[in-house]
Chain A
Amino acid sequence: MSRGMRVHIDWTRCDGHGACAELLPELLATDEWGYPQSRSGERDPLVPAELERYAHRARNACPLQALRLVP
């Protein structure tokens, strides 16, 4: 769980309000409509160990439970 965690956005749920990108700006930018966009271009960006805390916070902050942390 602590190694190789990835940020996955469920697009059927996400409504592009952008709370996740505010909390995880290192990994997520927002596109011009407010939807989160992986900065690295990877589909499900890998979370570096030092950002795991923030990734969990972003997951909890997503009002639609669209952001998931997957192995």
Chain B
Amino acid sequence: MDEALWALGRGTGVVALVCFTLTMVLGIMGCGGRNALGVGRFGLNELHRTAALTGVGLIAVHVGSLMFDPYAQLSVVDAVVPFLGDYRPLWQGLGTLAVDLLLVVTVVSLLRDRVGPRVFRAVHLLTYLMWPVALAHAVGNGTDNTSAWMIGLAAGCVLAVALAVGWRLSPAFVGRGRVRVERRLGT
């Protein structure tokens, strides 16, 4: 039973990292307004939302299982206030920080109609902080961090997001936006 909780805690953490990486990539691609992946613009959006909410669910299980795990013994305070834990306080604190950010982003996103697009967008930008923090936590705190597959997975995640950001900032993408605006304004 103890082993099971521990495995569940670690497993959900790793899968959540993959989900959030996917969320980032889909979100960044969706901004381009292209029919990428052949699922249409709205398809990208819905996949982005689904991946994000799946990640949120996994994180709930991740934190919950480590609270009940006699080995990790995560306290309620540790789950909310970063950098107080006994076990690798820095790395665990980063995880807690990411959970706090995730909470804010999730709640604000679900209340999108109430808060309006400006707040929604501003809060969404927090994910550019949250994702690297979560990644650092996964690599630094995970007891798998010396194993090749975890390093490989983390590297793959970094590569995926880096490629998406690179594409977004590339002249082809930026130029397209400008041309469109100029034509629309008739200049």
Contacts and interface: CB of A to CB of B under 8 A. Distances in A.
Interface of A: 13, 15-19, 22-23, 33-35, 58, 61, 63-65
B117 A19 contact: no
Contact of A33 (B31, B41, B42, B184): B184
Given A64-B117, A65-B112, A65-B113, A19 B184 contact: no
A65 B116 contact: yes
Contacts, number: 36
B33 interface: yes
A19 B33 CA distance: 8
Interface residues on B, range: 10 to 19
B117 A34 contact: no
A6 B46 CA distance: 24
Contacts of B46: 61
A63 B40 CA distance: 13
Interface of B: 30-31, 33, 40-42, 45-46, 112-113, 116-117, 120, 180, 183-184
A65 B120 contact: yes
Given A22-B42, A33-B180, A15 B33 contact: yes
A63 B33 CA distance: 10
Nearest to B45: A61
B183 A33 contact: yes
Contacts of A16: 33, 180, 184
Contacts of A65: 112-113, 116-117, 120
B108 to A, nearest CB: 13
